[in-house]
Amino acid sequence: MQYDLFNRLVDAPQEKIAWSFSKIGTLRQCPRKYYYQYYGSKKRKALNEGSKETLIFLSKLSNKHLVSGSIIHTVIATYLKKRRDGDEWDLNRLNGWSKKLLSESILFSENLRDGISDVRLYPPDVLKEVYYSKVELSELKEEIETKIENNLTNFYESEKFDHLKSGASKHGALIERRASFSLDDSTKIDGQIDVAFKENDKTIIADWKTGKIEYQDTSLQLLTYALWMIEKEGLSLDQISIQKAYLQEDKVEELEFSEKHLFRARTRILQDVEIMRGLHEFGNEAISDAFTKCNQQKICDLCPFQEVCQN
């Protein structure tokens, strides 16, 4: 409670909680990882955290799936921006640049492991598999290169993505744009739109998918993009088309949605935020024991915080 301008006792406004699809995904996957990622490794949160410096460092570690996805997104975004400016890169150039980015990431991870470079001074993604010397480097490199090349080849050659390539190369198209807005007074939504552009009377929003077709439901993530367009651009439902572009599988799927789906998405996010709010104080107080460990080998193997968590 607090006093307002007229000295009346009123409820204090709640602190705004930021929701994102990846944040709630981390919480559902492993609450302890959620603590490390969103409290323990943040400079201004969980100030009593005893492993703060280590967690900050570990939060910079990525893994082979994230690194390949990040390189594919970077190369595609650059291709679209260059094409918009009249400089159309061919497939060789896309593949060549992706290999350079991967090599930089590997070299930087090796140097970091060997104490030669500092993670805070240079930005390539750090591969935890290389940093911990967990795998045969040539096999890892080949695995990542093959995945990136398959994705980029389909992106470049398949007709299924032609409408997205030409639409996203138009002036005014959004490429890798942060989509952030308030759902209500206490909830902020954070997201990132891969591409969005106008086509006749519709706005098409597309999300590049770099893995296999998901059986995991990502419609909530995509519906937040629709909510963003409605909020920011004042669009109506029938003016929005949301498409999932599966690069590896060479397939585009359109998401069917109605007012009912949007209502359910809003409700679901508000429920998620209540759960996050319930944990917020424990996070800020650095009470990591309030966040259970998933202890699932497959998830732990990809987790950057293993070193602290399993000690």
Provide the total of helices (H) and of strands (E) in the chain, helices listed first. Answer: 12, 10
Taking CB under 6 A as the rule, does residue 22 contact ligand SF4? no
116 versus 299: smaller Cβ distance to ligand SF4: 299
By beta-carbon proximity to ligand SF4, the closer residue of 30 and 196 is 30
Q: What value does the CA radius of gyration of the chain take, rounded to a whole number of Å? A: 21
CB of 300 vs ligand SF4, minimal distance in Å: 3
Sole residue written with tokens 């799936």: 65
| Interface stretch with ligand SF4, choices 28-36, 136-144, 172-180, 186-194 (CB under 6 A) | 28-36
Nearest approach, Cβ of 296 to ligand SF4 (angstroms)? Answer: 7
* Phi, psi at 186, each rounded to 5°: -120, 10
| Per-residue contact string for residues 35-74; x = within reach of ligand SF4 by CB under 6 A | -x--------------------------------------
Query: Which residue among 19, 131, 225, 305 contacts ligand SF4 (CB under 6 A)?
Result: 305
- Part in contact with ligand SF4 (CB under 6 A); list of ranges 32-40, 41-49, 56-64, 266-274: 32-40
Query: Contacts with ligand SF4: how many residues (CB under 6 A)?
Result: 14
Among 27, 32, 169, 207, binds ligand SF4 (CB under 6 A): 32
CA distance 47 to 39: 9
**Rule CB under 6 A: is residue 229 a binding residue for ligand SF4?**
no
Instruction: Supply the angle between the helices 219-233 and 21-29 in degrees, to the nearest 10.
Output: 150
**CA 193 – CA 178 distance, rounded (Å):** 6
Q: Which is nearer to ligand SF4, 62 or 169 (CB)?
A: 62
Rounded Cα distance between 35 and 287, Å, is 9
Give, as ranges, the residues between 264 and 303 that touch ligand SF4 (CB under 6 A).
293-295, 299-300, 303
Give me the least distance between CB of 77 and ligand SF4, in Å please: 30
| CB burial readout 228-265, b (16+ within 10 A) else e | bbbeeeeeeeeebebbbbbbbbbebeebebeeebbeeb
Which CB, 223 or 309, lies closer to ligand SF4?
309
| CB of 146 or CB of 295, closer to ligand SF4 | 295
Contact between 279 and 37 under an 8 Å Cβ cutoff? The reply is no
- Residue 309 within binding range of ligand SF4, rule CB under 6 A: yes
Cβ proximity to ligand SF4, 161 vs 291, nearer residue: 291
Q: Give the C-alpha separation, 248 to 304, whole Å.
A: 26
Answer yes or no whether residue 33 interacts with ligand SF4 by CB under 6 A.
yes
Specify the stretch interacting with ligand SF4 by CB under 6 A; choose among 29-37, 106-114, 186-194, 208-216.
29-37
Of the pair 235, 275, the CB lying nearest ligand SF4 is at 275
Q: How far apart are CA 194 and CA 168, in angstroms?
A: 10
| Alpha-carbon span 244 to 204, nearest angstrom | 11
Query: How many Å apart are CA 22 and CA 86, to the nearest integer?
Result: 35
Q: How far is CA 63 from CA 11, 59, 132, 140, 303, in A?
A: 44, 11, 11, 11, 8
Do 156 and 245 contact (CB within 8 A), yes or no?
no
**Binding pattern to ligand SF4, positions 75-94, x when CB under 6 A?**
--------------------
Binding site for ligand SF4 (CB under 6 A): 30, 32-33, 36, 293-295, 299-300, 303, 305-306, 309-310
